[in-house]
Amino acid sequence: MTKRVYLDNSATTPVAPEVIEAMLPYMTAEYGNASSLHSFGREARTAVEESRATLAATLGAEPPEIVFTSGATEADNLAIMGLTLAAPGKKHIITTTIEHHAVLHTCQWLEKRGYEVTYLDVDASGRVDPAAVADAIRQDTLLVSVMAGNNEIGTIEPIDEIGSICKEHGVLFHTDAVQAYGKIALPIKNVDLLSVSAHKFNGPKGVGFLFIRRGIKLAPILHGGGHELGRRSGTENVPGIVGMATAARLTFEEMDETAARLRGYRERLIEAITAIPETRLNGGRTGCLPHIANFGFARIEGESLVMRLDEHEIAVSTGSACSSPNLEPSHVLVAIGVPLSMAHGSLRVSTGRQTTEAEIDTLIDVLPQVVSDLRAISPFKVGE
Amino acid sequence: MYTEKVIEHFRHPHNMGKLEGYSAVGKVGNIVCGDVMWLYIKVDQDERGRDIISDISWETFGCTAAIATSSMVSDIAKGKTIDQAIAITNRDVAEELGGLPPVKMHCSALAADALNEAIYNYLTEKGREIPPALAKRHEHIAKEVASLEKRYQAFTEKAETKAEG
């Protein structure tokens, strides 16, 4: 069997062998609970705190500013819910139309409970206008949440500028950095809270963290043993935390080299795929994360495209309505104004640290035929 | 999420393409909501003088389930009399495929609807009497299309505004 091609790294990534190796001892010999007094507990505590320091350093943060969570969904929830619980007087939140559902659905849940949420629109490349943030800020605005890089089209948001505007107005600024962390340098001097997930950068699933700038009051949403300085109860996931820190170390050691290589793949993909007739790049060509490219194919439905490529052992994803549980097209593609006929035929290609040139070659070789086969089935012909 | 049978029909669809010399076509779905199916039928008379679907084909824009149900409905209807074909339901199509995920049941409805519409158009063109059940389903399908268009109107308007800006 030929090697399968994995180009869905924005969904998840393989755990790096070095990460697995680093995690194993904390499941076998040093399996202690980091809260225990005995030597088992002390070993675990040391591992957790060393990991915290490693992760803090990747952001230029202090170790106590890192709170471990079960992943980015929890980190986003903790940021938004935790702040609203700590400051019940302020009832207004500003976010964007292209956030991950972990942010959007949390905001929508709060709307049903007396909060007002402003959803800022984006331009055709998916970028939020910092001036629009300034305009939307009110007396009772508690928080602005804008992602660092979009998970579907890869747009990099101007978080430094937005954060600076928030600072001027005394409003807290959270950013979901799930896709951007480890891919590009993140300026955090104006960021108050930042969410990260380990499995997006070759770490294990089920672990992430929330950076919370010192001095920010946040109420816990999980109650129990008072772990993480009372901000997140629950026994620390020691192997997961060690794995996340190891993955971060590997990622940041060679971030620039990896980014340059993935940008090269992205350019090749854009050149080759947009050369297929009636195909477009969704989102901008520049100002994007190095590892995500999103394409629209006229007269093709995305789920069919993903399934046909799966036959060729190529894994990619789509924002098609047919692939979503509510049969609605991707909110991100709709927000940047992709025509619905094209939004149905969207394809997201996302690379990772372990992606090879050969994988890119395979997709580029196979895709034109798959596209033309599916178009042959379609009732819509060229030019219609 | 899909059965082996669905995948098999998706990979190797039967009766695909436009039919030469077709008697009628049923067009259902809407590109805006992501599924469009055109189903062609050729009707001939058998030795007893009954109308039978002697040939059938389709063209579909849609997901895995939409393509598999197109293929399956064409298999089921081929060689059937018009009366038998009218009785084919979306449930029959889904069952023959070994079931569909709940969120994809509408794809099987689309396939049965396309067949329904092709037969309706055939009988109308021939000036034949439309059986009440068929007429009722025809009206229902038209209503469905209108409601889908309404549901997706917001998306369409948004996309158009962006395109102009």
Cα distances (angstroms) measured from residue B124 to each of B83, B109, B141: 15, 22, 16
Question: Looking at A253, A274, A309, which one is the last position of a domain?
Answer: A253
Average pLDDT over residues A295-321: 93
Out of A253, A268, A284, pick the residue that ends a domain.
Answer: A253
> By three-state DSSP, how is residue A8 classified?
strand
Are A62 and A203 contained in the same domain?
Answer: yes
Which residues in chain A have Cβ-Cβ distances shorter than 8 Å to B104? Answer: 322
Residue A10 forms part of a structural domain:
no
Pick from A91-100, A360-369, B23-32: least confident: B23-32
Average pLDDT over residues B99-128: 92
CB contact under 8 A, A327 and B62: no
Q: Is the dihedral of CA B151, B156, B159, B165 positive or negative?
A: negative
DSSP string for residues in A262-288: HHHHHHHHHHHHHTSTTEEEES-SSSB
Task: Based on the fold, state whether residues A228 and A269 are members of the same structural domain.
Answer: no
Whether residue A352 has pLDDT greater than 70: yes
Give the mean pLDDT of chain A.
Answer: 95
Query: Are A78 and A104 members of one domain?
Result: yes
Q: Is residue A2 part of a domain?
A: no
Residue A64 pLDDT more than 60?
A: yes
- 8-state DSSP, B17: S
User: Does any domain span residue A12?
Assistant: no
CB atoms within 10 A of CB A110: 17
Cα–Cα distance between B165 and B160 in angstroms, integer?
9
pLDDT of residue B142: 85
A48 in Cβ contact with A244 (< 8 Å): no
Vertex A311: Cα angle to A307 and A313 (nearest 5): 105
Per residue in A172-226, pLDDT (tens digit) is 999 999 999 999 999 999 999 999 999 999 999 999 999 999 999 999 999 999 9
Summarised one tens digit per residue, pLDDT across range A234-289 is 999 999 999 999 999 999 999 999 999 999 999 999 999 999 999 999 999 999 99
In a domain, A7, yes or no: no
Nearest C-alpha of chain A: how many angstroms from B129?
29
User: Do residues A241 and A260 both lie within one domain?
Assistant: no
Domain housing A296: 254-377
Q: Report the pLDDT value the prediction gives residue B105, as an integer from 0 to 100.
A: 85
Pairing of strands A292-297, B24-30: unpaired
Of A303, A321, A376, the CB nearest to B64: A303
**A341 in a domain, yes or no?**
yes
| CB of B62 closer than 8 Å to CB of A322 | yes
Instruction: Tell whether A73 and A157 lie within a shared domain.
Output: yes
> Is the same domain home to A203 and A258?
no
Residue bearing the bigger pLDDT, A383 or A298 = A298
- Among A211, A229, A253, the domain-final residue is A253
CA distances from A238 to A56, A66, A183, B135 (A): 17, 15, 25, 66
Is B107 tagged catalytic? yes
pLDDT score at B163: 52
Mapping DSSP to helix (H, G, I), strand (E, B) and coil, where does residue A23 land? helix
Task: Determine the pLDDT at residue B164.
Answer: 47
CA dist., res. A100 & res. B91, Å (int): 36
In the predicted model, what is the mean pLDDT of residues B60-67?
A: 93
Q: Which two tokens stand for residue B17?
A: 């393409």
Instruction: Parse chain B into domains and list their residue ranges.
Output: 4-164
Nearest to A379 among B60, B152, B165 (CB): B60
| Same domain flag for A214 and A350 | no
Q: What are phi and psi of A142, to 5 degrees?
A: -90, -45
| Backbone conformation region of residue A220, classed left if phi is above 0, alpha if psi is from -120 to 50, else beta | beta
* Mean pLDDT for the stretch of residues B85-101: 94
CB contact under 8 A, A341 and B31: yes
pLDDT for residue A62:
98
pLDDT confidence of B109, banded at 50, 70, 90?
confident
Q: Which chain B residues are within 8 Å of A329, Cβ to Cβ?
A: 34, 155
Q: Does A329 score more than 80 pLDDT?
A: yes
Euclidean distance between CA atoms B72 and B114, whole angstroms:
12
Quick check: A301 and B35 CB within 8 A?
yes
Nearest to B34 among A322, A339, A378 (CB): A322
B65 vs A191, B36, B70, B85, CA distance in Å? 45, 12, 8, 21
In chain A, what percentage of residues exceed pLDDT 90? 92
- The answer to whether the Cβ–Cβ distance between B159 and A307 falls below 8 Å is no
Comparing A54-63, B68-77, B154-163, which segment has the lowest mean pLDDT? B154-163
Indicate if A191 and A274 belong to the same structural domain.
Answer: no
pLDDT (average), residues B106-127: 93
Residue B162, CA distances (Å) to A30, A88, A364, A382, B155 in order: 56, 37, 30, 24, 11
Identity of the residue numbered B8? E
Give me the architecture of the B4-164 domain, per CATH: Alpha-Beta Complex (3.90)
Residues A149/A155, Cβ–Cβ less than 8 Å: yes
Same domain assignment for residues A174 and A294: no
List the Cα angle A22/A25/A30 in 5-degree steps: 135
Indicate the SS3 state at residue A301: coil
pLDDT at B160 over 50: yes
- For the cut 90, the answer to whether the pLDDT of residue B147 exceeds it is no
In B6-101, beta strands by DSSP E: 24-30, 35-45, 51-61
Token code pair at residue A65? 């500013």
Predicted pLDDT of residue B102: 87
Specify the number of domains making up chain A. 2
Q: Which parts of chain A are beta strand (E)?
A: 5-6, 66-69, 92-96, 116-120, 141-145, 172-176, 193-197, 208-212, 279-282, 292-297, 314-315, 346-350
Measured between CA atoms, how close is A327 to chain B, in angstroms?
Answer: 8
Tell me, yes or no, whether A200 and A243 share the same domain: yes
Mean pLDDT of B78-94: 95
Contact (CB, 8 A) for B69 and B98 = no
Going by pLDDT thresholds of 50, 70 and 90, the confidence category of residue B165 is: very low
Q: Which has more confidence, A275 or B149?
A: A275
In sequence order, what are the residues at sequence separation of 6 or more whose Cβ sits closer than 8 angstroms to the Cβ of residue B65? A322, B2, B6, B100, B101, B104, B107, B108
Q: What is the gyration radius of the CA atoms in chain B, in angstroms?
A: 17
**C-alpha–C-alpha distance, residues A194 and A67, integer Å:** 10
**Complex confidence, ipTM:** 0.86
DSSP B93-162: HHHHTT---GGGHHHHHHHHHHHHHHHHHHHHHTTPPPPHHHHHHHHHHHHHHHHHHHHTHHHHHHHHHH
Identify the residue whose tokens are 């190891």.
A246
Is there a domain that residue A11 lies in? Answer: no
| A29 and A128 inside one domain | yes
The CATH number of residue A69's host domain is 3.40.640.10
Measured between beta carbons, the chain B residues lying within 8 angstroms of A327 are 33-34, 103, 106
Helix, strand, or coil (residue A1): coil
Looking at the predicted structure, is the pLDDT value of residue A313 above 70? yes
Using alpha carbons only, give the angle B62, B68, B72 rounded to the nearest 5 degrees: 130
Closest chain B residue to the Cα of A384, Cα to Cα: B31
> By mean pLDDT, which of A183-187, A227-231, B102-106 is the weakest?
B102-106
- Which of B25, B57, B104, B162 should one mutate to test binding to chain A, selecting the residue with the greatest count of A CBs within 10 A? B162
Residue A67 forms part of a structural domain: yes
| pTM of the model as a whole | 0.92
Task: Categorize the per-residue pLDDT at B156 as very low, low, confident or very high, splitting at 50, 70 and 90.
Answer: low
User: Least CA distance to A373: which residue of chain B?
Assistant: B11
Report the CATH number at residue A368. 3.90.1150.10
> How close B56 gets to chain A, by Cα (Å)?
14
Yes or no: say if A368 and A375 are a contact pair by the CB < 8 Å rule.
no
**pLDDT higher at B160 or A51:** A51
DSSP secondary structure, A166-226, as one string: HHHHT-EEEEE-TTTBTTB----TT-SEEEEEGGGTTS-SS-EEEEE-TT-----SS-SS-
Q: What is the DSSP letter of A316?
A: -
Q: Is the dihedral of CA B15, B20, B25, B31 positive or negative?
A: positive
Residues A226 and A263 in one domain: no
Residue A302: HSE in the Cβ half-sphere, 13 Å Cα cutoff:
31
Q: Which of A152-156, A259-263, A265-269, B126-130 has the least mean pLDDT?
A: B126-130
